[in-house]
Amino acid sequence: MRDYHDYYKTSRGYHDRSGNSTDGWNATGTMSFMNQPLLAMASEIDTPVLLVHGEKAHSRYFSEGAFAQLRGDNKELMIIPGANHVDLYDNRKAIPFDKLEAFFDNSFR
| Region of residue 77 (left: phi > 0; alpha: psi -120 to 50; beta: else) | beta
Q: Give how many domains the chain has, as a whole number.
A: 1
User: Is the predicted pLDDT of residue 21 greater than 70, yes or no?
Assistant: no
- The reported pLDDT for the residue numbered 109 is 77
Query: Does residue 16 belong to any structural domain of this protein?
Result: no
Query: Does residue 31 belong to any structural domain of this protein?
Result: no
Query: Does residue 77 belong to any structural domain of this protein?
Result: yes
Query: Does residue 23 belong to any structural domain of this protein?
Result: no
Query: Does residue 15 belong to any structural domain of this protein?
Result: no
Q: Which domain holds residue 103?
A: 43-109
Per-residue DSSP letter, 108 = -
Distance (Å, whole) CA 45 – CA 27 = 32
pTM assigned to the model: 0.74
pLDDT interval class at 61 (50, 70, 90) = very high
Query: Does residue 29 belong to any structural domain of this protein?
Result: no
pLDDT interval class at 18 (50, 70, 90) = confident
User: Is the predicted pLDDT of residue 25 greater than 60, yes or no?
Assistant: no
Query: Does residue 95 belong to any structural domain of this protein?
Result: yes
Query: Does residue 5 belong to any structural domain of this protein?
Result: no
Distance (Å, whole) CA 73 – CA 28 = 38
